Amino acid sequence: MTKPASVLIIGSGPVVIGQAAEFDYAGTQACRALREEGVRTILLNSNPATIMTDPGVADAVYLEPLTIASIERIIEVERPEGVLAGLGGQTALNLAMEAARAGVFERHGTRLLGTPIAAIEMAEDREAFRDLLDRIGQPYAPSVIVEGETDEERRRMADLALAEIGLPAVIRPAFTLGGTGGGIVDTEEAYRERVRAGLRLSPIGQVMIERCLVGWQEIEYEVMRDADDTCIAVCSMENVDPLGVHTGDSIVVAPVQTLPDPVHQRLRSAALAIIRALGVEGGCNVQFALSPDATEYAVIEVNPRVSRSSALASKATGYPIARVAAQIAIGRTLAEIPNAITKTTVAAFEPALDYVVVKLPRFPFDKFPTADRSLGSQMKATGEVMAIDRTFGAALNKALRGLEQAGAGFLAEDPAWGPTLEILSGGLHDGAADDHHEISGELLVGPDGLLTDDPSRAVASGRAALLRRFLTPSDSRLWRLIGLLRRGVPAAELQAITGISPWFVGEMERLVELERRLGEEGSDLTDGLLISAKRASFGDRDIATLTGLPVAAVAARRAAAGIRPGYAMVDTCAAEFAAETPYFYSTYAAAGSPPEAPPVRRPAALVIGSGPVRIGQGIEFDYCAVQAADALRREGWEAVMVNSNPETVSTDFDASSRLYFEPLDSESVLEVIAAETAPGDPPLPALVQFGGQTPLNLAAALTEAGVELPGLTMETIDLAEERTRFAALVDRLGIPQPAGGMATSLDEALVVAERVGYPVIVRPSFVIGGLAIDFCFGPADLERQLRAATVITEDRPVRIDAYLEGLEVDVDGICDGTEVLIPGLMEHVERAGVHSGDSVAVFPPRHLSAAEQSLIVDAITRFAIAIGVRGLVNAQFIVREDGVYLLEVNPRASRTVPFLSKVTGVPMVELATRVSLGATLAQLGWSGGLLPPPPVVAVKAPVFSTTKLRGVDPLLGPGMRSTGEVIGIHSDGDVALAKALLAASLRPPVPGVDGALALVTVADRDKEQLPDLAAALVRVGYRLAATAGTAAALRALGHAVREVAPLGEEGSGLTPILDLIASGEVGLVVNTPAPRSGPVRDAAAIRLTAVAEGILCLTSMETATAAARSLDPAIRDRVTEIRPIDAWVRRGA
């Protein structure tokens, strides 16, 4: 194959559950690899928070919606010789397949590079794939495919499938992201519901019903093949959770731990045989189920592209899979591609690990406490954390420390488990009492697997059922299992119930044993036990908790005994060859060994990353961390990166001078700083502005240890973050702010709320399973919420702020201490009260007067200078007729920095980094004040993963719920908005010739916006349906309305509202909540049903109106007008 001169790379779009930062990593690697090969790279991605879309990564960047129209238009303009889709996840692959089927590539004489379309089709069409497996003699779980032209046909096939496969069964909709819509079902009712939903979610209307191989192990191989038929297995991975839990939600270990060599080789050979038979050219993930006695296996699935697993495998081994896959795609072979790590060997080899890697998923249930927390074949995690050490226990412990989640350490136990844990362990020692419980039927099991006193909640009874349900796969199973081991429940019993391989449970038991001994020795802690605990990666904090010693005392004992970690290199070859990879992990197993590298040359700084992707702290902050490291290196500094997230660009060993894969806790970060500080030098300074809140939270510990934080002091951080001092400073500067205050008791809260006036926003500092942040509309509402959902005490105060309705504005600036450069302001479409991360935001503002803009600029400028920040500063304002109010200031990078950097062309992170090192804006050729806006409008729209999380209400509010974002750019603001909504999947379907139905039920306070919404919907061909109140309002406006029966009033002759939603007639649901508790709950049922039915549900009048307008043909037709980002920004219209 001849090398193409230019290649179009399709990105994966916004971050959603199942498709996150790993594709920014893959795409960035691919762009860089192809540029090094002299290939012109053209990139399409709708996600502005990515590194891959930054200037300098690709030759032409299209920040445009991921549609066939965009692809075709780019191909027309740019004439790429090839298209690379295997690096943009399922999104890119699906899009490329559609484009291929639509003849786009053929029409323009270009071709899909890498794995051929036929191979992708065979891997993804389950029937064709099974034929292939039959042909090459590879076993798979018995399964039946359900599809059909009519409902009747589909129902018949579903019946046949059920009869053949039986229950429990695994439902797998074809071609959905992260297994969306899939799951294990064990009742006929659940079976039917899930099949119906799956058929709708599958873009080809196909669902596979598969026999559930309960209790089998899940083993994965990341394999690669080139056009010369050379095949390698880069990494083997063993899931701790047995089959049934999506691998993205599983605890995963690399390399395989419990398999004898013949079993491992059998699976490895099978994986290679499969990619040979498919004809993969690039990377591929192959998943197997292995019977508990390891004598039988079944192929589960194959992903003929780079994936989350391949990103994990790359970070686990040091082998750059995406980079090599891109090189293979343009015709190079594994035998000729150099090994980027050793530089002396080639890519045709298999990494040898001399360490253990553990990956843990990071779940969003802290944001969605009401969601269904059980785990199955539908992925629910938003991110992941990886840890490296020399034992499974140590790596697991380190990964737990890296989760950065309250209640996620090894020692963590939810207090609510107490009685259940006691009963489950107590029964062992006191069989009689347990029997008594069971006989008298008192041992009732709730749906959460916990003991319950309420018979109406009970789903089962008896100890056996309680143990089984307690350990059902869920986000907390690991901690529940450890809790039982801690109480002496035998490992064998837990192993039998969970199906987790006995070896893993045994290793956890060893950790529990260490924990017990630490508790036993207490303050008499011996050096020997301390060494054992550190070799098992117990943090000083956990050791302190267990021994009762202060953390500082534990650290002091370590220092006195010389117990410090060593740092070992990830080199792909287990030290067989000399390597200069700047990629390290800490391990006490290397304590005292000669260092593998001396501390970096000064000047140098540490960049602290942002840890696992979670709602509220996503890849925007990885973008900032990578940019900061880059800026340091361009300044001639060495940049040392520390992070724990295997998906990201920042943990690519190329992204910094030196990479440390460590949990982002103060102990780990301080040890890295110590290792990178030569005797006599001051501690390595640390940049904490770029990784989101995570590094900022470490600022105090770093400062205390004498580490300089360029651009920041604790005083600066405190003035911005400590609410009382913040409020005082804002007052002193004469900047208006909403009234508010702190309360440490319910009575105080009522007083504060009365003073500031309802409605108020309540922000608790500690939450138990309720709403984290919410509005309260009156004293009763406030009392109910505080009692139901929060803890309010002296040391856990609640913040109460007046809720000001108005236009919300986000602003980011760079302050050098004397002036503040403001690249741009972003105006929210939704009225204040919707979290800024969930708002549609427009740049430049469309509704702000020059005077209002200058008030904002003046306020942020004065505040930033007053707190003394040198670097990035972010603030939120509310603009009302009565003034411009300052809500919040963050002396760090914000979520909007990548977006603004791209649309303004201001290298914000680079400037901030250089300013924090001491430069002034003037020296860098910039000056303070607001930059004039470019002649385009750029719109940021949020992207939600609600369809993946059962039981999550899509209602927008003050707590963030979106997982990603997209951009829409155009010289016409309405088109830009339409593009963003389209890319964010927030645009309702275009009504066909028969029209479509929009179900509109809005709260009274939203009715004044109803005319605009209704007119817009009707104009684009929607018919309207509504419940009585909204229907009356619509009729009064002169619209025809189909009235439906509200919840609880079925039987009135009108179609009940939920039935209508499920009928298939509805294309859009607009539902805005009433400010009271009852209807809110009812409305939740409406929204949840809409989500379950896959119908777009909008909960803000502003978004809904904008969405309806975007369907206007005059606007709709122009969303295909696309340009490279620099063409938009530089030349505008």
Partner 1 sequence: MSAGPNGRPLHPLAIPADAAVDPRIGSHGPALLALEDGTVFAGISFGAAVASGGDIVVNTSQTGYQEVCTDPSYAGQVVVMTYPLIGNHGRVRDDDQSERPWLRGLVVGHATAAVLGRARQIVHLLRSSGVPAIAGLDTRALARHLRETGCQRAIITAPGHVDPEAAAAHARAVVRWEDQDFVGQVSARAAFEVGDRGPLIAVVDYGLKANIIRSLRTRGARVRVLPHTATAADVLGPEVAGVVLSPGPGDPARLDAPVALARAVIEDGRPLLGICLGHQIVARAAGAETRRLRFGHHGANHPVRDNGTGRVQVTAQNHEVTVVGDSFPAGSGFEVSQTNLNDGSVEGLRHRTKPIETVQYHPEGSPGPLDAVEVFDRFLERVRVAEGAR
CB of 243 to partner 1, least distance (A): 19
Instruction: Tell me whether residue 351 or residue 741 sits nearer to partner 1 (CB atom).
Output: 351
Residue owning tokens 């919420």: 785
Q: Dihedral through CA 756, CA 762, CA 766, CA 769, nearest 10?
A: 150
Tokens standing for residue 871: 């670097």
Helices (H) and strands (E) in the chain, counts: 39, 42
CB of 426 to partner 1, least distance (A): 25
**Closest CA relative to residue 7, chosen from 88, 103, 112, 90:** 112
Under a CB-based contact definition with an 8 Å cutoff, are residues 549 and 523 in contact?
A: yes
CB of 554 to partner 1, least distance (A): 16
844 preceded by a cis bond (ω within 30 of 0): yes
Name the strand (E) or helix (H) holding 556: helix 551-561
CB of 558 to partner 1, least distance (A): 11
CB of 356 to partner 1, least distance (A): 7
CB of 138 to partner 1, least distance (A): 15
Instruction: Tell me whether residue 271 or residue 613 sits nearer to partner 1 (CB atom).
Output: 271
CB of 258 to partner 1, least distance (A): 5
**Closest CA relative to residue 120, chosen from 94, 151, 150, 147:** 94
CB of 264 to partner 1, least distance (A): 5
CB of 353 to partner 1, least distance (A): 6
Instruction: Tell me whether residue 359 or residue 835 sits nearer to partner 1 (CB atom).
Output: 359
Instruction: Tell me whether residue 237 or residue 687 sits nearer to partner 1 (CB atom).
Output: 237
Footprint on this chain of partner 1 (rule: CB under 8 A): 228-233, 236, 255-262, 264-265, 268-269, 272, 333-335, 345-346, 348-356, 390-392, 491, 495, 502-503, 505-507, 510, 528-529, 531-532, 535-536, 561-563, 566, 568, 573-578, 589-594, 596
Q: Dihedral through CA 957, CA 620, CA 710, CA 913, nearest 10?
A: -130
Residue owning tokens 């649309």: 903
CB of 304 to partner 1, least distance (A): 20
CB of 211 to partner 1, least distance (A): 27
Rounded Cα gap, residues 513 and 361, in angstroms: 25
Q: In 267-375, which ranges are E strands?
A: 282-290, 297-303, 356-362
Instruction: Tell me whether residue 529 or residue 1015 sits nearer to partner 1 (CB atom).
Output: 529
Instruction: Tell me whether residue 394 or residue 1125 sits nearer to partner 1 (CB atom).
Output: 394
CB of 578 to partner 1, least distance (A): 7
Instruction: Tell me whether residue 268 or residue 1039 sits nearer to partner 1 (CB atom).
Output: 268
Instruction: Tell me whether residue 229 or residue 715 sits nearer to partner 1 (CB atom).
Output: 229
Rounded Cα gap, residues 956 and 832, in angstroms: 11
Count the neighbouring beta carbons within 10 Å of the beta carbon of residue 335: 12
Pairing of strands 252-254, 231-239: antiparallel
- The full DSSP string for 565-595 is -EEEE--SBTTSS-----EEEEEGGGTTSPP
**Closest CA relative to residue 571, chosen from 597, 537, 542:** 597
CB of 192 to partner 1, least distance (A): 41
Under a CB-based contact definition with an 8 Å cutoff, are residues 606 and 685 in contact?
A: yes
Tell me the Cα Rg of the chain: 29
Q: What angle do CA 185, 190, 192 make, to 5 degrees?
A: 110
Instruction: Tell me whether residue 316 or residue 855 sits nearer to partner 1 (CB atom).
Output: 316
Instruction: Tell me whether residue 256 or residue 381 sits nearer to partner 1 (CB atom).
Output: 256
CB of 533 to partner 1, least distance (A): 9
Pairing of strands 871-880, 883-890: antiparallel
**Closest CA relative to residue 967, chosen from 947, 943, 949, 951:** 943
Q: What angle do CA 678, 683, 684 make, to 5 degrees?
A: 90
Instruction: Tell me whether residue 393 or residue 959 sits nearer to partner 1 (CB atom).
Output: 393
The phi and psi torsions of 560 (rounded to 5 degrees) equal -65, -40
Instruction: Tell me whether residue 334 or residue 996 sits nearer to partner 1 (CB atom).
Output: 334
Kindly give, in sequence order, each residue whose CB lies less than 8 Å from that of residue 714, ignoring residues fewer than 6 positions away: 699, 700, 703
Instruction: Tell me whether residue 203 or residue 490 sits nearer to partner 1 (CB atom).
Output: 490
Its sign, for the CA torsion 716, 720, 726, 731, is positive
**Closest CA relative to residue 525, chosen from 564, 487, 553:** 553
What is the strand order of the sheet 1096-1098 is part of?
A: 1041-1043, 1022-1026, 996-1001, 1066-1071, 1096-1098
Instruction: Tell me whether residue 496 or residue 739 sits nearer to partner 1 (CB atom).
Output: 496
Tokens standing for residue 146: 């359900």
CB of 119 to partner 1, least distance (A): 19
Give 1008's strand partners: none
Q: Check residue 2 and report its DSSP letter.
A: P
Rounded Cα gap, residues 47 and 902, in angstroms: 11
CB of 1101 to partner 1, least distance (A): 58
Tokens standing for residue 338: 């150099």
Instruction: Tell me whether residue 363 or residue 661 sits nearer to partner 1 (CB atom).
Output: 661
Instruction: Tell me whether residue 100 or residue 508 sits nearer to partner 1 (CB atom).
Output: 508
CB of 555 to partner 1, least distance (A): 16
Instruction: Tell me whether residue 268 or residue 831 sits nearer to partner 1 (CB atom).
Output: 268
Under a CB-based contact definition with an 8 Å cutoff, are residues 40 and 117 in contact?
A: no
Q: Which long-range contacts (CB under 8 A, 24 or more apart) does 425-434 make?
A: 425/484, 425/487, 425/488, 425/489, 427/463, 428/488, 428/489, 428/490, 434/463
Instruction: Tell me whether residue 238 or residue 434 sits nearer to partner 1 (CB atom).
Output: 238
CB of 388 to partner 1, least distance (A): 11
